[in-house]
């Protein structure tokens, strides 16, 4: 079965380890009862280990919100490599989030980070999305170039491990998500660009998530009408009752 993938991007929340563990505990209790859904939580670096578990938990995975471009250990103050993340149980790494791009992360850096993550045997969740939309459709070119450059230099053999998160920047932290029909259209476009790079088979298999103002109420329609393979959730992912509700609501969808 092709399971839905629901990723919680905690951003710089919560402020204490106690609170982080409380949220994680609720999600870890829910994950094993899910049938067609897997979940990933991506807490701030210092909380990652304590939000995980010594034994593996069905449908539950740890993620990180960033990673270093450096593959080998060395004099890189402040950096955390993909191997270090792997060693503490991380399986997924969010890369190229618009909040990181706004702080200077370029498409080229994104591609280097993706390569570092893939080389370590982890899955990158590569975020792409236009900052604004225009009636003439120029945003499609922007999106295409962003995807192509963010994947430059990645070998075909890694294509099955890559996850793309389509996040229109204007819908992040907003009042409402993008319209479901538009999400569907954009996800087809993202898959098409991926298939232009890695071939039609890879294009059919790649998971495309949607992110931007997802909550437990709109999540089911985004999945079923927007026809995406999963969700990248910000605010609602640190609201444990809401996130648990979201997981259950999405899980009952065919």
- Report which of 186, 93, 55 is spatially closest to residue 133, judged by C-alpha positions: 186
Q: Residue 241: which residues within 8 A CB-CB, separation 6 or more?
A: 26
- Report which of 141, 248, 231 is spatially closest to residue 177, judged by C-alpha positions: 231
User: Cα–Cα distance between 65 and 174 in angstroms, integer?
Assistant: 20
The distance of closest approach from Cβ of residue 39 to ligand PGA in the complex, given in angstroms and rounded to an integer, is 14
Q: Which of 20, 190, 223, 233 binds ligand PGA (CB under 6 A)?
A: 233
**Options 38, 105, 130, 167, the catalytic residue:** 167
Does the annotation mark 97 as catalytic? Answer: yes
Q: Are 145 and 185 in contact (CB under 8 A)?
A: no
CA 94 to chain centroid: 5
User: Cα–Cα distance between 240 and 218 in angstroms, integer?
Assistant: 16
Residue of minimal CB distance from ligand PGA?
234
105 touching ligand PGA, by CB under 6 A: no
211 touching ligand PGA, by CB under 6 A: yes
- Window 1-40: contact mask with ligand PGA (x via CB under 6 A): --------x-------------------------------
What SS3 state is found at 232? Answer: strand
Per CB under 6 A, the segment of 133-141, 150-158, 167-175, 244-252 that binds ligand PGA is 167-175
The distance of closest approach from Cβ of residue 217 to ligand PGA in the complex, given in angstroms and rounded to an integer, is 13
For residue 224, CA distances in Å to 9, 54, 249, 252 come to 22, 34, 11, 11
Does the annotation mark 61 as catalytic? Answer: no
212 touching ligand PGA, by CB under 6 A: yes
- When the beta carbons of 226 and 234 are compared against ligand PGA, the nearer one is 234
Per CB under 6 A, the segment of 36-44, 218-226, 227-235, 239-247 that binds ligand PGA is 227-235
User: Cα–Cα distance between 188 and 39 in angstroms, integer?
Assistant: 23
The distance of closest approach from Cβ of residue 169 to ligand PGA in the complex, given in angstroms and rounded to an integer, is 9
Catalytic residues: 97, 167
**Interacting residues with ligand PGA (CB under 6 A):** 9, 167, 172-173, 211-214, 232-235
């Amino acid at each position: 079965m092709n399971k839905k993938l629901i990723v919680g991007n905690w951003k710089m929340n919560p402020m204490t380890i106690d609170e982080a563990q409380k949220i994680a505990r609720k999600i870890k209790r829910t994950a094993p009862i899910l049938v067609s859904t897997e979940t990933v939580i991506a807490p701030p670096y210092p909380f990652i280990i304590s939000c995980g578990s010594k034994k593996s938990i069905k449908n539950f995975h740890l993620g990180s919100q960033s990673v270093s471009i450096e593959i080998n250990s060395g004099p890189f103050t402040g950096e955390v490599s993909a191997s270090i993340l792997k060693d503490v149980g991380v399986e997924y790494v969010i890369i190229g989030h618009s909040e990181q791009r706004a702080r200077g992360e370029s498409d080229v850096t994104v591609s280097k980070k993706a390569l570092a993550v893939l080389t370590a045997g982890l899955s990158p969740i590569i975020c792409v999305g236009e900052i604004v939309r225009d009636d003439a459709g120029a945003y499609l070119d922007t999106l295409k170039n962003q995807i192509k450059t963010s994947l430059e230099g990645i070998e075909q053999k890694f294509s099955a491990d890559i996850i793309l998160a389509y996040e229109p920047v204007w819908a992040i932290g907003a009042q409402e998500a993008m319209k479901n029909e538009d999400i569907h259209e954009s996800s087809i476009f993202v898959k098409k660009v991926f298939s232009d790079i890695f071939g039609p088979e890879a294009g059919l298999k790649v998971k495309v998530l949607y992110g931007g103002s997802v909550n437990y109420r709109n999540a089911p329609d985004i999945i079923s009408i927007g026809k995406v393979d999963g969700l990248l959730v910000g605010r609602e992912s640190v609201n444990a009752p809401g996130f648990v509700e979201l997981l259950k609501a999405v899980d009952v969808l065919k």
